[in-house]
Structure 1
Amino acid sequence: MAASAPHLVHGIGTTLKPPTWPAITHDNAAAALARFPVAGQLEALEWHSPRPFSAAARVRTTRGVFVLKRHHPAVRTPAGLAEEHAFIAHLAAAGIPVPEILLTDAGTSAIAVGDWTYELHRQGAGLDLYRERLSWTPFFSASHAHAAGASLARLHAASRGFAAPARAVQPLVASFNILPSTDPLAATEAYVAARPALAAFLEPRDWRPAVARLFAELGQGVPAALAGREALWTHNDWHPSNVLWNADGQVETVFDFGLADRTCAVHDLATAIERTAIDWLELGQGRDATIGDPETAQALLAGYATVIPLDRGEVAALLRVLPLVHFEFALSEIDYFAGVVGDAEQASVAWDQYLLGHADWFTAPHGQAFLNTIEHGPLG
């Protein structure tokens, strides 16, 4: 009998790599599922996710198909997961198609088993068309972008009324403290001070002038663009592999709320464009001038506008935010790599290529042309 291929996961680049977190085993899954009374008995592990920040597997039991996720407790505790699960429950009650979250025998939505934190979701309806695609890769078509935009608008409409405060400090969350600030350097310093591993990583770097430069070049008008916006809990990781699709190319299920937090609709829309309309994995490979796809961004906005109208002022605001919308999550990734994982090389990649590199792309003529095309293109 041939040996099975080793389990590999997505890295920051385009190549697969051995996982930071070992794959869920049959014994791991059985022990966790025993704490979820509705789950039934484990029959098979059908698939292991290639996503890198946790371990996840599709499991078949005597009662159906589920997705079991396992987190290091430094990344997510049961209390940390409860924050996003409450948001998912709110969306479900408002009619947004999200996977059902199963409850444990203690009545909680997540539980610590051994040295890990587990959560269990029922498999959502729809086709996982982008299952093996990397997160920073584009839609297959403009029609998918349009459908995703409409789905995001429905999520924003449903989010209204969810009044939970912003999430507690933890890695890998798209928080919203720096961009709205009229003193972004001071806000960044406060953000860094609250995260000792991030502070230790940045200490030997001349990071303050680098941050000041980014905000001098790209941050003008950002606080004004965000001022007075309705506070919303938002998805913050809107890309095509975080939704399931029907045969007609429409969104059938929305999932992966790991980055969800209290931001605003403009911030989330800008994040969606940043995640899907620029082929970041090709950055620095000799074709920087062509990695932006404003047509995808326009299709996403056009789809959004079929549900929630957008005017030129809204588009101008999100384009003001877009070049730095990744900034805070990039810091969170550095905190994860430097602190939880202890991988200084990956933390350096996140600083140099993600945080600085993505922002610098927007200062170049091709980045400015990308923004200009979207700003003056059709709204619907």
Structure 2
Amino acid sequence: MNLSGGHLVHGMGMALEAPTWPAITHAEVEHVLTRFPGAGRLIRLNWHSPRPFSAAALIDTDQGAYFLKRHHDRLRTPAALAEEHGYMAHVRAAGLSVPDIVKAANGSGAIALGEWTYELHRDAPGIDLYRDRQSWTPFLTAGHAREAGVALARLHRAAQDFPAPARADHPLIASFTILPAADPLIAADAYVAARPALGRWLEDKPWRQELARLFAALGAGLYDRLAGQASLWTHGDWHPSNLLWTEDGRVSTVIDFGLATRTCALHDLAIAIERTAFRWLDLGQDEAIGDVDAAMAIVAGYCDILPLDHADMDALWRLLPLVHVEFALSEIDYFAGIVGDPDQARIAWQDYLIGHAQWFLSRAGQDFLRRFADKAMA
């Protein structure tokens, strides 16, 4: 495996693509480690992550194994990373296994070097079964889906007394401000207005009309159903490759809190289902992409730890078709603004935001929602 020039990452479809962000180099790691004196001297660089929004690598030093992650400073600064690191420290203190952040010489959990921001994690316990699999691909077994639901509930239980406010308007955050609003179109206007690159990209498109159509078709009654949900810091990106596993198929460690912020438990649970119970990468080739049993396995595992009542279940299945909308807008903002890639922004708008929601209006999508609701409400 070529660890530099031949490195490829996941794209918006099935194919691997050239990375937006260059792979981390051996010399770069050596330089960064001088800012983390307790991490030791680099021995080898083992693996480059195929995840597309940052660069990351597993490394060995004479002090052990580490995970080094590099962000462009327009995406994450040390201050922005401190928000998620504080959340991770809180749930770790509550007994959850999450990566241990290494402190730099200046006492910070992240450093800035030129246009880059770096964070260093100690190697986390568990088997990385899904590390090369795309997002939006299912769990390998129903047992994994159920154990993922168990682990998500444990995370939510650990987070219940974390007092930090929601994160600032960083790119690529799984925020939740539009769907819970009394008027989601007004909330969407505010979301877009706060992100000039997103606004410029959308200005020649009928985006308000498209969102109004989707909200009317799929979002009726959401405001009333979500009004009583407790505010909670959540993960925001609960899919198989963000979980490490034990030999007997349980979740060992939860990783990658990059999208985390304050939302609510049902938002996070709906995202977990949306990420894993549908073969979205087959959309357009096969309409029957939803797996109700996989969705219910996640819910069943969750309810083993934190039971949901009838009203919660009703809100959950109604939230599911639109839960991706706000992060899809964040992806468009990232592609249009930070990356400057209008083609990828178009895919995020047409195929992701509209396409995923539109599927739920298809015969297959309506059938999925009916069967999921019947099982969830039974």
The interval holding the TM-score normalised by the smaller chain is over 0.9
Match of 1:187 in 2: 187
**How many Å separate the matches in 2 of 1:378 and 1:246?**
29
Residue 312 of structure 1 and its aligned partner are, at CA, apart by 2.8
Match of 2:209 in 1: 209
**Which amino acid counterpart does residue 142 of structure 2 have in structure 1?**
A
- Out of 296, 300, 304, the residue aligned to residue 306 of structure 1 is 304
Match of 1:358 in 2: 356
- Out of 324, 344, 356, the residue aligned to residue 326 of structure 1 is 324
Residue 37 of structure 1 and its aligned partner are, at CA, apart by 2.1
Count how many residue pairs are aligned between Structure 1 and Structure 2.
378
Of the structure 1 ranges 52-61 and 36-45, higher mean CA displacement relative to structure 2 is found in: 36-45
Residue 326 of structure 1 and its aligned partner are, at CA, apart by 0.3
Residue 28 of structure 1 and its aligned partner are, at CA, apart by 1.1
**Which amino acid counterpart does residue 331 of structure 1 have in structure 2?**
L
Secondary structure at the aligned position of 2:375 is classed as coil
**Which amino acid counterpart does residue 189 of structure 2 have in structure 1?**
E
* 1:105-144 → structure 2 map (5 Å cutoff): 105-144=105-144
1:192–1:199 contact (8 Å) kept in structure 2: yes
**How many Å separate the matches in 2 of 1:209 and 1:5?**
44
Residue 293 of structure 1 and its aligned partner are, at CA, apart by 0.4
**How many Å separate the matches in 2 of 1:130 and 1:365?**
31
Would the alpha carbon gap of residues 284 and 104 (structure 1) be closer, same or farther in structure 2, given more than 3 Å must change? same
2:147–2:250 contact (8 Å) kept in structure 1: yes
1:301–1:379 contact (8 Å) kept in structure 2: no
* 1:212-231 → structure 2 map (5 Å cutoff): 212-231=212-231
What does the per-residue CA deviation read over 1:186-206, in whole Å, with 9 as the maximum and x for residues that have no partner? 111110011010000000111
**Which amino acid counterpart does residue 168 of structure 1 have in structure 2?**
A
* 1:8-87 → structure 2 map (5 Å cutoff): 8-87=8-87
Match of 1:262 in 2: 262
Secondary structure at the aligned position of 2:353 is classed as helix
CA RMSD of aligned residues (A): 1.5
**How many Å separate the matches in 2 of 1:378 and 1:330?**
26
**How many Å separate the matches in 2 of 1:142 and 1:317?**
24
**How many Å separate the matches in 2 of 1:107 and 1:221?**
47
- Determine if the alignment matches structure 1 residue 372 to structure 2 residue 375: no
What does the per-residue CA deviation read over 1:286-310, in whole Å, with 9 as the maximum and x for residues that have no partner? x11x100010001011111111112
1:128–1:243 contact (8 Å) kept in structure 2: yes
Match of 1:98 in 2: 98
1:305–1:379 contact (8 Å) kept in structure 2: no
**How many Å separate the matches in 2 of 1:379 and 1:366?**
20
**How many Å separate the matches in 2 of 1:272 and 1:3?**
31
Residue 379 of structure 1 and its aligned partner are, at CA, apart by 7.6
**How many Å separate the matches in 2 of 1:210 and 1:278?**
23
What does the per-residue CA deviation read over 1:346-374, in whole Å, with 9 as the maximum and x for residues that have no partner? 00000000000000011112111111212
Residue 311 of structure 1 and its aligned partner are, at CA, apart by 2.7
Secondary structure at the aligned position of 1:376 is classed as helix
**How many Å separate the matches in 2 of 1:29 and 1:59?**
9
**How many Å separate the matches in 1 of 2:332 and 2:326?**
10
Would the alpha carbon gap of residues 26 and 86 (structure 1) be closer, same or farther in structure 2, given more than 3 Å must change? same
| TM-score w.r.t. length of structure 1 | 0.97
Residue 277 of structure 1 and its aligned partner are, at CA, apart by 0.2
2:4–2:25 contact (8 Å) kept in structure 1: no
**Long gaps (5+) in structure 2:** none
Would the alpha carbon gap of residues 41 and 323 (structure 1) be closer, same or farther in structure 2, given more than 3 Å must change? same
Residue 153 of structure 1 and its aligned partner are, at CA, apart by 0.3
**Which amino acid counterpart does residue 328 of structure 2 have in structure 1?**
A
Residue 378 of structure 1 and its aligned partner are, at CA, apart by 6.1
2:313–2:376 contact (8 Å) kept in structure 1: no
